[in-house]
A and B are shown apart, each in its own frame.
Chain A
């Protein structure tokens, strides 16, 4: 039965509507039919009673020998009438199907049914008259149940189709806001910005949309608070970290000092990333034509100077309207992410995708499983808890935030080497 029960709310409502309306339709047809046949049967019984009464009147003045012939003369198609001295049927209650007819014919009437008789004479009856019985036989006292005709069937099918079509449309219209609510709910968490759900549709759905929006705002505020707190901490950490860095500089050269310096650089980077994330979208940096290729060349050179295998392999120039500093920040996070979580060689590329330019950053590491990709861009989420020391989980989130603020998008795929391929799509035209 399960396969008949649709999974979607719209399907279920459609099915219920269709089923209910069909039942109603069939029921009303049946009631109508019954009433029609009932009145027809009443008229028939009336006629039969009249004929029997006429037969009784006709035989009354006649001698016994002439009575049968006189009664027979009153026979009509559909009813054969005789006179007899004795009743052909015993005095007992008539079968249920004939009760109505018996009641109409009077308390002394006898009725019986003989299925083996000729088709025209299956019902046998007798009413008392003048020292004998008026005996009659009829095909059937009720109206025969004829099959439904083609017209009725096709009208019913047409009606069912009409009902189905209308109910699908209506139900889709009713459940539309619900579907939009579900779509919005799906995106929460993957998209740091709140997605306001339109307050439309029936009252319950409007209510749900309002509750959902309020919940999103609360979550947004919570995340905002958390980010603010992190920003404050990061901000305040810079001064003691500067002091620490200076102090370490006074220590004698050696392995300990080198490691401490490396730790400090690590901490600095974490702070920088956090502040990058918070700043993205808040700076009032103007959009102006900028060379994306130059930015990628700079990032590749800087990383290469620090001994990393990073190279830019795209075109010499790629001009598009850009917030240059923000773009550099976002892309530097992608490169950083590739070096940190992937494995060299890291390759940077720019590809032409019609109205968009795609910046590709690929590495040869283990990549991110498809199921984890949506989560990888959520701020503060680290996919690999074993390496939690190596970042705050903001690299991809910063790039994603930048992409969204620039009417672009960030896609994660698998690189040719099996690592991660991060694609930042940016529109060629401002808008």
Chain B
């Protein structure tokens, strides 16, 4: 991790820019994030967003973007934003609008939260994204959102895992997060604690230590369905788990 990323991670006052047309919603989200000790700016639309981005002091660490904006749509805004900045973007989408979500992720959004959302979930997602965000120059090509390992392909925009035989294999949210953690750190042992951090991003589950083992075994059942399937995730006794395959960006 570079120094800037390290500083950002430790900075309790990460700067978050909210772009949301509904005034009440904007205020409530701002209040939520302020109570979670973030520094918050708010913009009503694209014009206000550009104003803030152009002001010298305004560079946010993360943009929370409502894709259902009037006028220029949130997706257009996202496309133009990506032409000039790699700042992490968390999309607010309407629940169930899969096309918006997929398009948004393909256009370079880093994650999404569906409305209506649980407040804790939003804060957890913001934190996770800030933690994950790397400096701009280290970012891979934003369009290559396909991670390949041992014949498997994970499309991170569509959140779709495809087996070597070309079969779509469904993953739960927790399994997806876990797999992402392994794919971001291939051939490195991830401890239970590290994986527990990943599990904590999920809301609705009480992350116990045991949960990690359960989630890993569920993930294994999906990517190693048969007894003779090659082992992809190995248990390292007393240390944690490791993904043994090479990961390439396709």
Contact = CB atoms under 8 A, between A and B. Distances in A.
A247 B168 contact: no
Interface residues of A, number: 41
Interface string A270-300: 0110011001000101001111011101100
Contacts of B99: 283
A21 B94 CA distance: 72
Contacts of B175: 298, 301
Given A242-B116, A295-B170, A324-B170, A301 B25 contact: no
Nearest to B211: A305
B116 A324 contact: no
B221 A245 contact: no
A241 interface: yes
A268 B32 CA distance: 20
Interface string A291-321: 1011101100110011000000000110100
Interface stretch (B48-56, B81-89, B117-125): B117-125
A276 B98 CA distance: 11
Contact of B218 (A235, A289, A301, A325): A301
B226 A245 contact: no
A293 B225 CA distance: 10
A416 interface: no
A275 B204 contact: no
Interface centre among B99, B115, B116, B218 (most CB of A within 10 A): B116
Contacts of B165: 289, 319
A306 B205 CA distance: 7
A250 interface: yes
Interface in B183-242: 204-205, 218, 221-222, 225-226
A246 B119 contact: yes
Contacts of A324: 160, 168, 170
Contacts of B140: none
A289 B116 contact: no
Contacts of A319: 165, 167
Interface string B116-137: 1111100000000000000000
Contacts of B29: 246
A238 interface: yes
Interface in A230-247: 235, 238-239, 241-243, 245-247
A291 B163 contact: yes
A282 to B, nearest CB: 11
Given A238-B115, A298-B175, A301-B218, A291 B96 contact: no
Interface centre among B94, B96, B99, B218 (most CB of A within 10 A): B96
Contacts of A325: 98
Interface string A318-331: 01001011001000
Interface string B7-31: 0000000000000001011001101
A15 interface: no
A168 interface: no
Contact of B169 (A242, A243, A271, A291): A291
A306 B202 CA distance: 12
Contacts of B98: 283, 285, 325
B116 A328 contact: no
B226 A316 contact: yes
A95 interface: no
A38 interface: no
B171 interface: yes
Interface centre among A264, A288, A294, A319 (most CB of B within 10 A): A294
B94 A235 contact: yes
A239 B221 contact: no
A290 B165 CA distance: 10
B71 interface: no
Given A242-B116, A245-B116, A246-B32, A301 B96 contact: no
Contacts of A293: 225
A424 to B, nearest CB: 15
A27 interface: no
A249 interface: yes
Given A246-B29, A290-B168, A306-B204, A241 B225 contact: no
A276 B97 CA distance: 10
B102 to A, nearest CB: 10
Interface in A65-113: none
B222 A297 contact: yes
Contacts of B73: none
A75 to B, nearest CB: 113
B144 interface: no
Contacts of A295: 170
B170 A241 contact: no
B86 to A, nearest CB: 28
Given A275-B96, A294-B222, A298-B175, A239 B25 contact: yes
Interface centre among A238, A242, A291 (most CB of B within 10 A): A242
A239 B170 CA distance: 29
A319 to B, nearest CB: 5
Contacts of B173: 302
Nearest to A306: B204
5 contacts: A239-B115, A245-B116, A247-B28, A272-B95, A291-B225
Of all A-B residue pairs in the complex, the 4 with the closest CB atoms, nearest first, are A249-B119, A290-B168, A246-B28, A242-B116
